[in-house]
Amino acid sequence: MASENPLLDIPFDIPFDHIRAEHVVPAVDALIDDAQARLDAIVAVDGPRTFANTLGALEEATEKLGVMTTVVGHLESVATTPELREAYNEAIPKVSAFWSRIPLNSDLYAALKAYAETEDGKALEGPQARLLEKTLDEFRRHGANLADEEKEALHALDVELTRKTTRFAQNLLDETNAWDLVVTEESKLAGLPPSAKAAAKQAAEDKEVEGWRFTLQAPSYIAVMTYLDDAAIREQMWRAYNTRASSGERDNRGLIVEILKLRRQKAKRLGYADFADFVLEDRMAKSGEKAMAFVDDLRAKTQAAFDREKDELLAFRRELEGDDAPALQPWDVAYYAEKLRQSRYAFDEEELRPYFEVERVLEGLFALAGELYGIEVKRRDAPAWDEDVRCYGVHDGGEMIAAFYVDLHPRENKRGGAWMNALISGASLDEMGPHLGLFCANVTRPTKEGPALLRHSEVETLFHEFGHLLHHALSEVPIQSLAGTNVAWDFVELPSQIMENFCWERASLDHFARHHETGEPIPEALFAKMQKVRTYRAATAQMRQLGFATVDLRMHRELDPEALTPESMLAFARDVLDAHASAPVPDDYAMICGFNHLFASPTGYAAGYYSYKWAEVLDADAF
């Protein structure tokens, strides 16, 4: 009954109310067959190769499969059920296996190269020329130019890399979960806010122990580091956190050395000096050298402010505890920084909430986009995956150029965090159609007593995700795989981060930040406080990010993995991070063994951690 499966041919108004788990696997099988048949047809072209029968056909071959996979993946994140998860877990490996075989299809590669050599291929311009270049690059970067036995070797490296990085992530997860600390004397909990105390009590009850239980999960760990008066407990927990997976049976040190080796070997096989040059070739930075120069430059500009912040924090401690108070230890920094912040600004983020009623925030956000880009955002009717979800149209003149869904609040069947997703691209060489996308968040819900009043950081999140959505919705690039958010990774956060700036400007805030009862704008004194807090210890935060970016690039560029031991790797990482830390770290400091961004997947953020700062510089300049 193929015709009854809504996933086989997904229309613009996606029938979310008709998609069921049992549709997933048959749709995946059918659409993979369909895509494979289209690829075979490209290879079999008899007669002259043209854009339409070769490159354009390749672009279209996987379109339906792509949209279907995105829609199913989306439902798994916002409306999961045990049946859907099972179907998803069965289907996804088939889809990834299909994608990974495409660049190794040597007949297809030959067809593309043959097309590139035709007069038609050589005469391409603009986005079409870019598509040809990117497609050939992608095949080459996946080993299409290698001899068969070298392809095998490359494949073996990839398999091993997946195995080792998965192991890294599992070790870290197990180590994090294996540690806890139960405190039985309430007097030792001085300083901790009631919410953190209640969470610790609950965590103890869940394990059926007496007292208060603390873990290395972020909310528990951060609360202790920031607020707990007892320095000995802070030290114990800091040491546990920062030596995770660095010894014993879950030792990640050796795995890091192995991962660095595999990555270097992969880069060399593909003709690059090192893994950073391989990864960065198709990003804005272009090479490891340029990314490193960027990080070094930013560090030089941050150093003086960073040193001032360190001195200021020590001076503050001595104000509190006398001139002979000792230098700060790593487990003291967050604690005294919070005390200093409170004493200097007496700023409570909760004071801002009444000014950020969620409906007004959205209206203000859409009005701002209208002012900036000359568009109009209007509600529209469309089926959705939950009654909480709304749909909007983006209008330009008389035309609807895009539509998008907004899913704002937490639900049990929805994952955490905030994100944007592109569902359908209207990009086309003939006539652009409307784009379809969405953004999701997990912000404060309305209650029975009153409307949803957001924290300022939640407002920033909505602006950020809507910026990604606009990037997709306003795209005029006529080729799907190059349109919207399909840009270099170190650029993709510009359209989102630039929107955050408007949450800090009086002129834009006054449009939508109005007291939900009185309609008053944010009072001047509160606005001034919030501006000051924004840059409080910003150099320290920046230096920390630069430390991560530096250790990442230097490990993937400078280190010779063949000459590395677990001990020398750890010492190298420790020294680099120590130079960026607010207080000297101990010899066994092993943050690197818990650095998921770099080592929990074959590429992930490896040689790419600098991108956070890179995009921030771009958006600051552009704003």
Rounded least distance, CB 5 to Zn ion, Å: 33
Strands 376-380 and 212-215 come out as unpaired
CA angle 523, 442, 6 (to 5 degrees): 140
**Near Zn ion by CB under 5 A, which window of 30-38, 274-282, 330-338, 493-501?**
493-501
Total number of residues binding Zn ion (CB under 5 A)?
A: 1
Nearer to Zn ion, 405 or 463 (CB): 463
**Near Zn ion by CB under 5 A, which window of 192-200, 495-503, 530-538, 588-596?**
495-503
Distance CA 387, CA 385 (A): 7
Other beta carbons within 10 Å of 289: 15
- Residues 379-418 touching Zn ion, rule: CB under 5 A, are none
Nearer to Zn ion, 183 or 408 (CB): 408
Nearer to Zn ion, 421 or 496 (CB): 496
Nearer to Zn ion, 480 or 496 (CB): 496
**Near Zn ion by CB under 5 A, which window of 299-307, 356-364, 489-497, 600-608?**
489-497
Nearer to Zn ion, 496 or 582 (CB): 496
Rounded least distance, CB 362 to Zn ion, Å: 18
Nearer to Zn ion, 491 or 504 (CB): 491
Q: 348 CB contacts (<8 Å, ≥6 apart)?
A: none
Rounded least distance, CB 458 to Zn ion, Å: 15
Rounded least distance, CB 495 to Zn ion, Å: 9
540 binds Zn ion (CB under 5 A): no
Residues facing residue 420 across a β-bridge: 439
Distance CA 109, CA 508 (A): 51
DSSP letter string, 574-593:
HHHHHTT-SSPPPTT--GGG
DSSP letter string, 456-478:
HHHHHHHHHHHHHHHHHHT---S
Rounded least distance, CB 619 to Zn ion, Å: 11
Distance CA 376, CA 390 (A): 16
Nearer to Zn ion, 165 or 496 (CB): 496
CA angle 109, 157, 604 (to 5 degrees): 85
Nearer to Zn ion, 58 or 418 (CB): 418
Rg over alpha carbons for the chain, rounded to the nearest Å, is: 27
> Given CA atoms 266, 597, 417, 390 in this order, what sign does their dihedral have?
negative
**Near Zn ion by CB under 5 A, which window of 24-32, 271-279, 494-502, 589-597?**
494-502
Rounded least distance, CB 405 to Zn ion, Å: 17
Strand order in the sheet with 419-424: 376-380, 390-396, 399-407, 435-440, 419-424
The percent helix, strand, coil of the chain (3-state, each to 5) is 60, 5, 30
Contact 75, 87 (CB under 8 A): no
Active site (annotated) includes residue 465 = yes
Rounded least distance, CB 71 to Zn ion, Å: 21
Distance CA 521, CA 529 (A): 15
How many CA atoms does the CB half-sphere of 449 hold within 13 Å?
1
496 binds Zn ion (CB under 5 A): yes
Interface mask toward Zn ion for 604-623; x: CB under 5 A: --------------------
- Residues 173-202 touching Zn ion, rule: CB under 5 A, are none
| Residue tagged active-site, from 465, 493, 500, 524 | 465
Longest distance between any two alpha carbons in the chain, whole Å: 87
* Start-to-end CA span in the chain (Å): 53
Residues facing residue 379 across a β-bridge: 392
Three-state SS for 156? helix
Rounded least distance, CB 605 to Zn ion, Å: 14
Distance CA 140, CA 493 (A): 27
Nearer to Zn ion, 175 or 493 (CB): 493
> Closest-CB residue for Zn ion?
496
Candidates 17, 12, 9; CA nearest to 385 is: 17
Rounded least distance, CB 617 to Zn ion, Å: 15
Nearer to Zn ion, 128 or 496 (CB): 496
Rounded least distance, CB 420 to Zn ion, Å: 7
461 binds Zn ion (CB under 5 A): no
Distance CA 334, CA 233 (A): 14
Helices (H) and strands (E) counted in the chain, each on its own, are 24, 7
Nearer to Zn ion, 496 or 611 (CB): 496
| One-letter amino acid for residue 481 of the chain | S
DSSP letter string, 197-260:
HHHHHHHHHHTT-SSEEEESSHHHHHHHHHH---HHHHHHHHHHHTTTTSSGGG--HHHHHHHH
Rounded least distance, CB 26 to Zn ion, Å: 34
Contact 548, 578 (CB under 8 A): no
Query: Residue 298: enclosing H or E segment and its boundaries?
Result: helix 288-321
Can you tell me which residue has the tokens 């909990």? 189
List residues near Zn ion by CB under 5 A. Answer: 496
**Which residues does the annotation mark as catalytic?**
465
